Amino acid sequence: MTGEGLLARAFCHETDHLDGTLFIQHLSMLKRDSIKRKIKKLMKAGEW
């Protein structure tokens, strides 16, 4: 199947699910570390 725009993005998202790939794995190491720090901060505050 092929798709354009939002449909193409949905195909990629669902294919990632089937392959076991998480969104965070598509990010650079710097961005990934930043997000992980934010999540840890939220967890510590009891908001996650």
Which pTM does this prediction carry?
0.58
pLDDT at 1: 84
Q: Which of 10, 14, 21, 48 is catalytic?
A: 14
Reply yes or no on whether 14 is catalytic: yes
Report whether 27 contacts 35 (CB < 8 A): yes
Report whether 38 contacts 47 (CB < 8 A): no
DSSP three-state, residue 48? coil
CA distance 21 to 27: 12
Domains of the chain by residue range? 6-44
**What are the tens digits of pLDDT across the range 3-33?**
999 999 999 999 999 999 998 899 999 999 9
